[in-house]
Amino acid sequence: MSYFVCTNCEHESDIFGRGGGEKMAADLNIPFFGRIPIYQPIREGSDTGVPLMVSEPESPAARAFMTAAERVAAQVSIASYNRPTIPLTVVR
């Protein structure tokens, strides 16, 4: 969780500061996938079994999850493309 989103006005508050995840990712030379907010409907949906992507798919928090998922998918694709292959030798 990265920042707090008010459910009344959608104001975002950086209650933990800002940029720490990005800096850590850069320091570790790993991809940064995104900032997921603290947003009450995420907890409510977790309790009721209705994911935010179903209950509020156009909300900023849902878009944050989608952005992170897209970045993970991109990295999986890159890793899959770059994986070493085992050379095959045809034996007759």
Where along the sequence are the contacts to Zn ion (CB under 5 A)?
6, 8-9, 11
Instruction: Quote the least distance from Cβ 38 to Zn ion, whole Å.
Output: 13
Give the nearer residue to Zn ion in terms of CB position, either 8 or 89.
Answer: 8
What is the nearest approach in angstroms of Zn ion to the Cβ of residue 9?
3
59 neighbors 41 (Cβ within 8 angstroms): yes
As measured in angstroms, the least distance from the Cβ of 13 to Zn ion is: 9
Q: Smallest gap, in angstroms, from Cβ of residue 43 to Zn ion?
A: 17
Angle in degrees, CA 78, 27, 75, rounded to 5: 15
Q: Which is nearer to Zn ion, 38 or 53 (CB)?
A: 38
Question: In this complex, which beta carbon is closest to Zn ion, that of residue 8 or of residue 85?
Answer: 8
Joined together, the tokens standing for residue 67 give 């952005």
Task: Name the residue nearer to Zn ion (CB basis): 4 or 33.
Answer: 4
Task: Return the beta strands (E) in 1-92 as ranges.
Answer: 4-5, 12-13
- Furthest C-alpha separation in the chain: 72
The secondary structure of residue 35, as a DSSP letter, is: -
